[in-house]
Amino acid sequence: MLQTEWNGFRRIDFIFQGREAILVFPSSQNRTAKWLLKTEYFDAFPNCEIELVKRGFHLAYLKNINRWGTDADQDAKRDFAQHLTAEFGLADRCVPVGMSCGGLHAVNLASRHPEIVAALYLDAPVLNLLSCPGGMGCADYSESMWQELVDAYGFSRSELITYRQHPIDRLDILLRNKIPVILVYGDSDPVVPYCENGAVLEQYYRENGGILKVIGKPGCGHHPHGLADPAPIVDFILAHA
């Protein structure tokens, strides 16, 4: 186990089930059992996570086999969550923070293991593989990202067209389990277009009474993730975690 600091907070790095793992601790003065799970890109755009660690949340991360949301990664996160509860006294439910492909992981985790998820923070999330990396709509196509998906799932394009386990196909599970969602997006995102991804979740939640807050960023592309002032995200998570 390696002990260092992350943005002024105590951080430990260790190995869990053969994977790199990270846990960041809040100060002892306001420490709670609540925690965030960054599902991919641990150090990317962390201002919301920093603010919540200041409020007493822990922040955890478990390295994925790949960034495309496969079941083995979600099962490992379930085991990791149980480990953090048993060994560090963290809450039974966490708040996954899913940016870009991390959103794919977050929704797949919440639909596969809803018992460990309190709420979701999704930011420009990949929710439709036909869109990203498939490039079958208005998304920019990347041959290298497509090859990553082939390596992860073994898909042909025909198999992807008939696939019915995209995150947008699992939204009913989130609703049945009353999982609140805060969704942030850029309205000029060419990599993960909102109209093919997050907008499907927004419409489904609004039509079916889900707990949802949506924040669009005019003129923003895929980056930067988050908000310059993360207060609206922080407030939503504090209300629902």
Return d(Cα 177, Cα 40) in angstroms, integer. 23
User: pTM of whole model > 0.75?
Assistant: yes
Provide the pLDDT for residue 232. Answer: 98
In the chain, the amino acid numbered 95 is V
Look up residue 42 and give its two tokens: 């641990």
Query: What's 5's DSSP letter?
Result: E
Which residues, given as ranges, of the chain have pLDDT below 50? none
Return d(Cα 224, Cα 42) in angstroms, integer. 15
**To 5 degrees, how large is the angle CA 194–CA 192–CA 48?**
80
Residue at token pair 């002024």: 8
Return d(Cα 136, Cα 77) in angstroms, integer. 30
Instruction: Give the C-alpha distances (Å, rounded to integers) separating 139 from 38, 127, 134.
Output: 25, 13, 8
Look up residue 11 and give its two tokens: 């951080």
Provide the pLDDT for residue 215. Answer: 98
Provide the pLDDT for residue 23. Answer: 98
Residues 146, 148, 151, 152, Cα dihedral to 10°: -110
Provide the pLDDT for residue 124. Answer: 98
